[in-house]
Amino acid sequence: MAVYLDARDDLPRFAFTFGFGDGRSQLAFTASPGAAPSLAQDTQPGAIAAAWLNGLSLPSGGRLLLGYVSGPGGALSQSSVYGLSASNLENNQPVRIEGPAAPAH
């Protein structure tokens, strides 16, 4: 399953984190070339987490492929987002995040 960020407004230099899982299956996160996270954890069964702490930037209307989540048959359809957060690296203010759109498996 692809993990994308879509920007409605300009998003200059922001840190982003997400957590995702089904609570039981061995899931894996594979980063997109050029969008490697600062931290990623996918060794704990049932959950993955990734963080881009050095900053991402997206123009209004932009879309960035962060990577892919994979797992055993049926696991992704039973998974959910555990959390999303983003903050502006210039002023440490929260960046409004909506999500997720319905997953395309």
Q: Give a yes or no: residue 93 inside a domain.
A: no
Nearest to 2 by CA among 56, 50, 70: 70
pLDDT tens, 55-90?
A: 999 999 999 999 999 999 888 888 999 999 999 999
Nearest to 86 by CA among 7, 14, 37: 14
Residues 23, 46: contact at Cβ < 8 Å? yes
**4-48 pLDDT tens trace:** 999 999 999 999 999 999 999 999 999 999 899 999 999 999 999
Residue 62 lies in a domain: yes
pLDDT for position 105: 42
Domain range enclosing 81: 2-88
In a domain, 76, yes or no: yes
Domain membership of residue 94 (yes or no) is no
pLDDT at 97: 84
Quote the pLDDT of residue 90: 94
Q: How many domains are there within the chain? A: 1
Q: What angle do CA 26, 4, 76 make, to 5 degrees?
A: 30
Domain assignment present for residue 25? The answer is: yes
pTM (whole model) above 0.85 = yes
